[in-house]
């Protein structure tokens, strides 16, 4: 009888950290594990891997992912006792992850139904415990579902149900499992996960204490997450070449860099300055000639962002795509990567003089200073767009603008300040001044650029970090604090995001 090759019977099981190539498989598994609940989006899992990859685990069995769990580190004392899942996870993105925190917080565990009773959940919990020991964390905290509670909701309160489970009179697949794995009950949280109908939106707050924890000096709070912004109030004046334009732009980028700015912000369509030497009287033809400089413009700003180590909001520029002209704002990151935001609402003037087409998507961009959005001029006057961007995680909205009179400028300014209050975010406006006497429809400019905050005790008295003097060529440089913003959203005098009446109204969008 030939020697038996036992390798043909092997089915390897491995617990490892999640990788980007696992995302699609995990998303599919979640739909199977939690039918009827809102699943992760790809950007959620990508955010987990970018921010805290060592805290994301999966179980791979014979080449197939059959279980996974997600977590982040926090200082639990910073959070309200009755926090929700959205509060503790920053709506699933874990951008509130604090590597200096004391507690590992578990935000999801799932096991494929075909592989339950193989102790997959226990393996994932042990992986978390090993991580907590390795990172010297004080405890693991989880907001646990009670998925069998809906069967008993008419005859007992959630507290009574939990006590019956604790006394082994009722079996709950999650709570019973957690107690068997060394977790103790802290409290019950209502409205923890609104779409968890089986648990009637309740969750049990459970904790496992790391007996190997060694106390050491740590900051209890992250005191600041400062972001420095340099806003360029750009003078529109006649020039003779693209090189002269590039020289002016580099000068201001250098200024921003000298002051160690994280962002340099240029105004809307300030590249129309190039029209001053094109000698084209027809606005529609002039704008098409302007689009011929698109590659030069992109190459210039990409080089400057890397050279001066500053993220640049490159104002906006008219770009031709498939025989249409769009007003596009570009983000040039200091790592050399590029993003773009199309202007969504085109003014009657833009359409009349230049035939500009509208964009169709609100985008939010990741940067090394958190998530930001760009809303060009007229777009900031539509509150729905800012709310969409905020709901998608933006902390700062940059608004390059170009207005010809004080009334137009004040529309942009007042709306930017309103958006800062309504959404508890920072807003930044950057405009053009001066004149281009040889360029039709760009003859005069009016601006007073600035950086604005929510209106509460933590921020500047008037909600203004800084502003330029009106109608002069200058810059304003100011610091905004993303950590202060996070705290204000959680415990401010008013909490516009949290206090929305979602039972009465909501924004639905397809962009």
Last residue of a domain, one of 209, 236, 271: 209
372 in Cβ contact with 365 (< 8 Å): yes
Catalytic, 268? Answer yes
Please give the Cα distance from 86 to 459 (Å, whole number).
25
pLDDT at 73: 96
User: What CATH number corresponds to the domain at position 478?
Assistant: 3.60.110.10
pLDDT at 460: 86
Residue of higher predicted confidence among 206 and 418: 418
Q: Is the pLDDT of residue 427 over 60?
A: yes
Q: Which of 33, 213, 215 is nearest to 129 (CA)?
A: 213
The pLDDT confidence band at residue 193, using thresholds 50, 70 and 90, is confident
Beta bridge partners of 401: 431
Domains contained in the chain, number: 2
Q: Which of 169-183, 231-245, 285-299, 360-374 has the lowest mean pLDDT?
A: 169-183
Tell me which of 60, 268, 350, 467 is the catalytic residue.
268
Q: Is the pLDDT of residue 274 over 50?
A: yes
The pLDDT confidence band at residue 34, using thresholds 50, 70 and 90, is confident
Average pLDDT over all residues of the chain: 90
Read off the pLDDT of each residue in 70-84 and give the average, rounded to a whole number.
Answer: 86
Please give the Cα distance from 190 to 202 (Å, whole number).
5
Does residue 235 share a domain with residue 201? no
Catalytic, 377? Answer yes
Strands laid side by side in the 103-111 sheet: 13-17, 57-61, 64-74, 103-111, 139-144, 203-209, 184-189
Tell me which of 129, 340, 343, 484 is the catalytic residue.
343
**CA terminus-to-terminus distance, the chain:** 67
Residue 267 lies in a domain: yes
45 in Cβ contact with 23 (< 8 Å): yes
Residue 505 lies in a domain: no
Retrieve residue 392's tokens: 């998608």
Catalytic, 343? Answer yes
Does residue 453 share a domain with residue 374? yes
pTM of the model: 0.60
Residue 6 lies in a domain: no
Retrieve residue 301's tokens: 């700003």
Residue 232 lies in a domain: yes
pLDDT at 356: 93
Tell me which of 377, 402, 415, 468 is the catalytic residue.
377
Beta bridge partners of 17: 57
Does residue 76 share a domain with residue 185? yes
CA of 463: how far to CAs of 289, 428, 431, in Å?
41, 12, 19
Does residue 243 share a domain with residue 168? no
Retrieve residue 76's tokens: 């639990």
Residue 236 lies in a domain: yes
pLDDT at 489: 86
Does residue 401 share a domain with residue 355? yes
pLDDT at 402: 95
Please give the Cα distance from 183 to 221 (Å, whole number).
26
**Residues ≥6 apart with Cβ < 8 Å to 252:** 230, 232, 234, 264, 266, 475
Beta bridge partners of 340: 330
Retrieve residue 395's tokens: 């902390």
């Amino acid at each position: 009888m030939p020697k038996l090759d036992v390798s043909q019977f092997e089915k390897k099981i491995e617990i490892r950290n999640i990788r980007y190539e696992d995302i699609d498989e995990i998303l599919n598994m979640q739909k199977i594990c939690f039918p009827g609940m809102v699943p992760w989006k790809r950007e959620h899992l990508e955010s987990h891997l970018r921010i805290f990859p060592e805290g994301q685990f999966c179980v791979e069995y014979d080449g197939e992912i059959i279980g996974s769990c997600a977590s982040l580190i926090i200082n639990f004392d910073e959070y309200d006792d009755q926090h929700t899942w959205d509060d503790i996870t920053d709506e699933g993105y874990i951008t509130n992850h604090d590597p200096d925190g004391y507690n590992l917080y578990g935000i999801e565990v799932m096991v494929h139904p075909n592989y339950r009773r193989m102790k997959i959940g226990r393996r994932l919990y042990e992986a978390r415990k090993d991580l907590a020991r390795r990172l010297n964390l004080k405890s693991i905290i989880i907001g646990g579902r009670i998925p069998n509670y809906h069967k008993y909701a008419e005859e007992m309160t959630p507290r009574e149900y939990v006590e019956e489970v604790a006394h082994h009179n009722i079996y709950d697949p999650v709570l019973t499992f957690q107690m068997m794995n060394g977790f103790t009950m802290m409290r019950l949280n209502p409205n923890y996960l609104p779409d968890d109908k089986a648990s009637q939106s309740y969750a049990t707050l459970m904790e496992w204490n790391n007996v190997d924890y060694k106390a050491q000096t740590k900051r209890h709070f992250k005191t600041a997450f400062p972001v420095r912004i340099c806003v360029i109030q750009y003078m529109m004046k006649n020039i003779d070449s693209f090189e002269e334009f590039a020289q002016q732009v580099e000068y201001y980028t250098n200024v921003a860099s000298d002051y160690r700015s994280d962002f340099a912000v240029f105004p809307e369509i300030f590249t129309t300055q190039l029209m001053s030497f094109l000698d084209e009287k027809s606005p529609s033809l002039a704008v098409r000639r302007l689009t011929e400089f698109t590659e030069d413009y992109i190459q210039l700003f990409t080089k400057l962002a890397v050279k001066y180590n500053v993220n640049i909001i490159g104002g906006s520029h008219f770009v031709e795509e498939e025989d249409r002209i769009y007003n596009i704002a570009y983000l040039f990151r200091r790592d050399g990567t590029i993003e773009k935001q199309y202007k969504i609402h085109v003014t009657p003037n833009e359409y009349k003089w230049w035939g500009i087409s509208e964009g169709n998507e609100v985008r939010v961009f990741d940067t090394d200073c958190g998530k930001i959005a760009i809303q060009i001029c007229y777009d900031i006057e539509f509150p729905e767009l800012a709310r969409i961007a905020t709901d998608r995680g933006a902390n700062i909205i940059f608004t390059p603008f170009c207005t010809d009179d004080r009334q137009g400028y004040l529309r942009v300014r007042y709306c930017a300040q309103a958006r800062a209050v309504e959404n508890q975010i920072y807003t930044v406006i950057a405009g053009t001044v001066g004149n281009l006497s040889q360029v039709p429809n760009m003859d005069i400019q009016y601006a007073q650029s600035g950086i604005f905050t929510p209106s509460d005790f933590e921020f500047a008295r008037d909600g203004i970090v800084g502003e330029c003097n009106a109608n002069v060529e200058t810059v304003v440089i100011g610091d905004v604090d993303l950590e202060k913003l996070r705290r204000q959203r959680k415990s401010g005098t008013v909490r516009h995001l949290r206090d929305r009446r979602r039972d009465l109204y909501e924004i639905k969008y397809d962009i």
